[in-house]
A and B are shown apart, each in its own frame.
Chain A
Amino acid sequence: MSATAGPGPTLNWRHRLAERGVDRKLWLLLPATIFVLVLFIYPFLYGLSLSFQPMNGGSVLANYQRFFNDAYQRDTIFTTLKIALPAALLNVFAAVPIAFRMRGRFRGKRLMTTVLVVPITLGTVLTAQGLLNFLGPTGWFNRVLMGLHLIDGPIRLTNNYWGVFFSLIITGFPFAFLLVLSYLSGIDPTLERAAATLGASRSQRFRRITLPLLAPGLATTFLLTFVLAFSVFPSAVLVGNPAGSTRVISLAAYQAAYEQYDYSYASAIAMIMGAVELVVVAIVLVWRARLYTGSTGGKG
């Protein structure tokens, strides 16, 4: 019965694996791992390598050079950021005071949140169709403004930058609002009351207690809203001006693939798109890592 007796090597091996938390349950990860490798990692790497093999020959980086040397293509990056960043920022910053005001319980809260989910579920295609009707030159919006004599003639709100911007607000704001609301309700309200008993005013409580606890949540909300806005595609075509002010980068990638059938170039653009997005994500994550991200005292 000494420790060295018995089937030694296999058992030692088993002991060492157990120490690291490796056991048979890990097999359950297998389907998902295969899935991610086959349907995400492999296509991604395939696209990456394809992007280095230009269709018309040339150097390895020819596709990338082509993209950055062509102002029409290069500018899609700035066009996309110019739409996505302000839209995401506006969505998050408008959501904070509104969510703060509505975090308590009140009649109709569930109804309100339900109505807010509607534009998210409908998605950008339907929103685009609605915006064309509603904001168009003969739409209700312009009619009301003219009826109130705020404007003389219809203002142009579709088929340009504003059309896309509004579509991102209509779908993005409820998204940001619901997220911020749930982060807010995860903060223990007694913390604020404790601060109040220590003499903090309303604005001090918000600035010194609620906001620091909320900040990581805001960063996450901004990221998710930004990702949605950055990949804007259908509304850029339908309510934007796809040849000019709203020629976003996803459109450039799509055209390369499905209009010019240059999958190599399209992959290169897709990679650039991913890289630009990840840069923004990384910046936000680095900032977020510097914040307090522990428990916010709320339940569960």
Chain B
Amino acid sequence: MSGFDQLSLDGVGRRFGTADALADLDLTIERGEFIALLGPSGCGKSTALNCLAGLLPLTAGSIWQDDQRIDTLPPEKRGFGMVFQNYALFPHLTVRDNIAFGLRMRRLPKEEVRRRTDAAIDMVRLEEHAGKLPGQLSGGQQQRVAIARATVLEPSLVLMDEPLSNLDAKLRLEMRTEIRRLHQSLGLTTVYVTHDQEEALSMADRLVVMRLGRVQQIGTPEEVHTKPTTWHVADFMGYRNLLPVSASRVDGDAVTVPLGGTTVNGVAQGRVVAGDEVVAAVRPEDVRLGNEDVTGLKGRVEVVEYQGRELAVEVALEDGVRLHARTDRKVEAGEHVTITVTPGRLLVYPSEGPADRPAAELASAGLAV
């Protein structure tokens, strides 16, 4: 199982009964890349990973490793490594035996098994725990065993299924760095599934954002962060202000939309014609509170949340629309404020019909599908 230059997923799909868990996934993975599959729960990202691993048979499409078709191979013949959400360590085997399992399955000589297992145990710094059973380890240690077990075979591709979701916040940050470090030092190719956009942005070379079984956007972290292709992606990437409005004036990609009794300027992300129903999206970080902007929006502070250096503020505009904003100024609920939007950071998306509109606040909170 030597490495590959390119791994291509071609129209990959998976149906369960009548439901498409995954449809039309086209993706090409280059050797050495770190790819994150990102999306809310139920978006098909884990299905995609399991299809890639061979754990779930495809119901459409094909997977090619260079010019060899591999979607007909069983998982044990593909030579990929995988790290599972709950680690899936073998509870009856010691740390050492867990890590050595794959090497033994390959029937490598005893000596080599020992040498490589020792090296892997060293790499994840578990020397003192080598003789323990998984049940005796902490969550972070189990996680490291799982990673060592998957990488000791030097697989051509490592698949990770939300590997950090069971860890506490502090450990999660540490393990992020650790995984990225291993990826680079071992020269791995990694496909990483997560629902945490921050995790994906910080670790991956490329992001695949998914929704309802379909790819929404493929791009670098920066592209996805600053230029989401649909308002759904924007929603998921932290554009908390999603406003269903109609475009009042369009000039090239400059769009003017009504807001809070006045108008604001945004950038069209797709074909928008004056009079269209559109969705305007802007991050809270790009909505700032001022005090003497004459032409700006006016509103009243409703809720204030302390968030360290800044305050997160919810402001009700004069027409009743609520905006999430940020400020480093001390404000209190009830206060009247003016609001400015960072130029160029209000993105205007065409809507694909009356049903394709952001719902009330709760549903747009990010995880709802």
Binding site for B on A (CB under 8 A): 1, 3, 6, 11, 14-16, 18-19, 23
Contacts and interface: CB of A to CB of B under 8 A. Distances in A.
Given A1-B64, A6-B69, A11-B72, A23 B11 contact: no
B16 interface: yes
A3 B59 contact: no
Contacts of B336: none
B10 A3 contact: yes
Contact of B62 (A6, A18, A23): A6
B61 interface: yes
A109 to B, nearest CB: 28
A15 B72 CA distance: 10
Main SS of chain B's interface residues? strand
Contacts of A3: 10-11, 60-62
B30 to A, nearest CB: 16
B139 interface: no
Contact of B57 (A1, A6, A23): A23
A88 B11 CA distance: 60
Given A1-B8, A6-B69, A15 B58 contact: yes
B78 interface: no
Contacts of A16: 59
A19 B64 contact: no
A18 B10 contact: no
A3 B10 CA distance: 7
Interface in B1-16: 8, 10-11, 15-16
Contacts of B64: 1
B59 A19 contact: yes
Given A1-B64, A18-B58, A19-B15, 7 more contacts: A1-B10, A1-B62, A3-B10, A15-B59, A16-B59, A18-B57, A18-B59
Interface of B: 8, 10-11, 15-17, 57-62, 64, 69, 72
Contact of B16 (A1, A6, A14, A19): A19
Contacts of B11: 3
Contacts of B72: 11, 14
20 contacts: A1-B8, A1-B62, A1-B64, A3-B10, A3-B11, A3-B60, A3-B61, A3-B62, A6-B69, A11-B72, A14-B72, A15-B57, A15-B59, A16-B59, A18-B57, A18-B58, A18-B59, A19-B15, A19-B17, A19-B59
B359 to A, nearest CB: 28
Contacts of B58: 15, 18
A19 B64 CA distance: 21
B69 A15 contact: no
Contacts of B17: 19
Contacts of A15: 57-60
A147 to B, nearest CB: 59
B41 to A, nearest CB: 20
Nearest to B10: A1
A15 B56 CA distance: 11
A14 to B, nearest CB: 7
B56 to A, nearest CB: 8
- What 4 pairs across the A-B complex have the smallest Cβ distances? A18-B57, A19-B59, A15-B59, A19-B15
B231 to A, nearest CB: 30
Contacts of A14: 57, 72
B62 to A, nearest CB: 7
A28 to B, nearest CB: 16
A264 B160 CA distance: 65
Q: Which of B8, B59, B69, B72 has the most chain A CB within a 10 Å cutoff?
A: B59
Contacts of A23: 57
B92 to A, nearest CB: 20
A6 B62 CA distance: 10
Contacts of B60: 3, 15
Contacts of A1: 8, 10, 62, 64
A13 to B, nearest CB: 11
Nearest to B71: A11
Contacts of A19: 15-17, 59
A123 B15 CA distance: 51
A177 B239 CA distance: 58
A4 to B, nearest CB: 10
A18 B58 CA distance: 7
A23 B57 CA distance: 9
A15 B10 CA distance: 15
A6 B11 CA distance: 14
Contacts of B8: 1
Q: Which of B11, B57, B60 has the most chain A CB within a 10 Å cutoff?
A: B57
A290 to B, nearest CB: 27
Contacts of B59: 15-16, 18-19
A156 to B, nearest CB: 60
B208 to A, nearest CB: 19
Contacts of B16: 19
